[in-house]
Each structure stands twice: as C-alpha cells, then as structure tokens.
Amino acid sequence: MKKRRLGNSTLEVSAIGLGCMGMSFSYGTPPDRTEMIGVLRAAVESGITFFDTAEVYGPYKNEELVGEALEPFRGQVAIATKFGFNMKPNGEPGWLGLNSTPQQIRKVADASLRRLRVDSIDLFYQHRVDPAVPIEDVAGAVKDLIQAGKVKHFGLSEAGVSTIRRAHAVQPVTALQSEYSLWTRKPEREVIPTLEELGIGLVPYSPLGKGFLTGKIDENTAFESTDFRNILPRFTPEARKANQALVAVLNGMGVQKQATPAQIALAWLLAQKPWMVPIPGSTKLTRIQENNGAAAIELTPEDLSNIEEAAARVKVEGERYPENIEAMTGL
C-alpha cells in the first residue's frame, strides 16, 4: 500500500484508510464482534495503517472494538477519533446535542485513550462544529492536549472555511474530514482550495456514497429497519433509481481499467490531490481488499476528463441528509 502525508503535517498513513463505524453502528444489526476484530487485524496485514472511529459510534462500542483489535499493532497504525457530542445516559444510542466545551474535550480525550488502549490519540477531530463554543477555545483545548502528550494531531469535521482558518490560527489543523465523492462535491467550491492554501489534508468519508457507488444497490434494495440510510433523502427508491446514471459512469471506466465501480470511485478521489486519504468503511475483508486495489489504479488526465464530462451530465437526486442533520454541517 502506498503512503500519503496529510497536508504539511508529519502524519503519514496508508493512501486508503478504513472507516470503522459500520462495524458497530448505523448500518443495521452490527456484525459479530469477534469477527470484526479479525477483520480489523487482517486489514492491517493488507496494508492499511489509518483507522477512523468516534465516541458516538455505538456509543463507545466502536472505540472499544478498535482499541482491542489494534492493540497488537500499537505504534504501527494511526487511529483517529472524535469529540463534540453530549451522549445519552447509560450508553443509549444517539446523542443529546453538541458539546465542544474545553472541559468536555478533556473528558472525552481521557475516556477515548482508555477505550483505544493507547497513550496518545493520533488524530483528534471535532466531530461537528459547535456554534455555542468559539472555535478558538476548541483549538486551544486540543493544543493543551497536544502539549500534554495526550493527542498528536488536531482535526475538524464538516467545518466551513471561516472555522478552518480561525482554528488553524490557534492550533495547526492536520486534517479536515468531510463527505466528498463523485456524488458529493460541495467541498470543491471553497474548502479544498483553502485546505491546499493552508497545507491541511482532506479525509473524505463516505467516499463510496454509503455503499451506493459500489453498484451493489438499486431501487429494489431493502435495508434493515435500523439502517440509517432509510432516513436519507438520497436513498429513497426514486433517488436510487435516478442516481444509477452515476454508477454507470463508474462502470464504463471500470470496464476500461478492469476495475470495479468502487475502485474507480476511490481512484478518482486519490487522483484529485496527493494529500487526500479516503476512508471507505466495510465489514468484509474481501471489500477492504477490493478498495485497497484502487491505490494501484492510475487514471490519466484523459480518463479524469472523461469521468468529469460524463458525471457532469448526471444530476444527483436527493439531499445527502435530512435538514436537521445537514444543519449541523458548516460547509
């Protein structure tokens, strides 16, 4: 697996990371925990050195899973986790609202360190911007944690340009995590140019459109009742049918490159900037290995132009989130 550096930082990770959320949260009934420990360890053997989790995934269960699975590889892998919510009592799913006060950040850091079984958090993201807490206070709190040795790098998630600049002025931001893929391209307008200017890496989450860009989902696909895609406007049967046109673009290039639609979608992202590291999620080792194969695919300028031209003719149907969730983003 090739390596990439996130922006101007010293954080070097595998060109493709692994989003671990689905191993214990959001996509229906969680898989067997022991099986997921095996998958995570096999992912390391396959070349992945960058793993993404958060306290809210479960809550807590995903950090505990990742911590146990990756403990034998301490020092060989980088684990990113996130703060920024008030959790419900007794480990109930969901959250009670945003909370990025310095006191809460310190509390979450200590708890995450225990669950992840590490001495220092490699990358600590603010999960969502908290309008009630000045971003300077957030950056200052993480700066204190870095000076204390509890955190190595500071990150933001779904933050807008103004927030990024203000945070970066207090504590250099190593990476921004935001949704970015062929069907979610809003960051291209202002965010990506700002990241390039400031030397900040981008970690695209949902780079495969929550599974849609793999070509394995159509308008007839039935999700479990607890699968959060059931509430996403972009995943109504009508939207899924309309958005097959984008999968057809990936399929077309895949035939030329002897690659799957998922591999083309990831290769397209990798070709955008050398400081982008997508984190597709999966619970299956075969899919993880398939995704890893994208790092070896070379898309020429002509290939990229052809994809761009074909994708421009496709109007993606449906918003990515319901209004109440979309309102929590700063893009």
Give the pLDDT confidence score for residue 90 in this predicted structure: 83
The bridge status of strand 201-205 relative to strand 123-126 is unpaired
Residue 328 has pLDDT above 80, yes or no: no
Give the pLDDT confidence score for residue 94 in this predicted structure: 81
Q: Which domains does the chain have, with CATH numbers?
A: 3-209+272-297 (3.20.20.100)
Tell me what percent of the residues of the chain surpass a pLDDT of 70. 99
Strands (E), the chain: 3-5, 12-14, 18-19, 50-52, 78-83, 85-87, 95-98, 123-126, 154-157, 173-179, 201-205
DSSP of 253-264: HHHHHT--HHHH
DSSP three-state, residue 250: helix
Phi, psi values for residue 309, rounded to 5°: -65, -45
Average pLDDT over residues 127-145: 98
Note the pLDDT tens digit of each residue in 94-119: 888 999 999 999 999 999 999 999 99
Phi, psi values for residue 252, rounded to 5°: -60, -45
Residue 214 has pLDDT above 90, yes or no: yes
Give the mean pLDDT of the chain: 96
Instruction: Name residue 156's beta-bridge partners.
Output: 126, 176
Distances (CA, A) of 191 to 136, 158, 246: 19, 10, 23
59: preceding bond cis by omega (within 30 degrees): yes
Query: 57 an active-site residue?
Result: yes
Give the pLDDT confidence score for residue 242 in this predicted structure: 96
d(C-alpha 210, C-alpha 282), whole Å: 10
Angle at 296 between CA 293 and CA 301, to 5 degrees: 125
d(C-alpha 301, C-alpha 306), whole Å: 9
Lowest mean pLDDT segment, chosen from 23-27, 191-195, 315-319: 23-27
Note the pLDDT tens digit of each residue in 71-83: 999 999 999 999 9
Instruction: Name residue 51's beta-bridge partners.
Output: 18, 79
Distances (CA, A) of 18 to 4, 23, 188, 296, 305: 14, 11, 23, 17, 28
Catalytic residue among 57, 125, 180, 205: 57
Average pLDDT over residues 140-165: 98
**The total number of residues written for the chain in this structure:** 331
Tokens describing residue 105: 């950040």
Q: Closest by alpha carbon to 80, among 114, 48, 120, 122?
A: 122
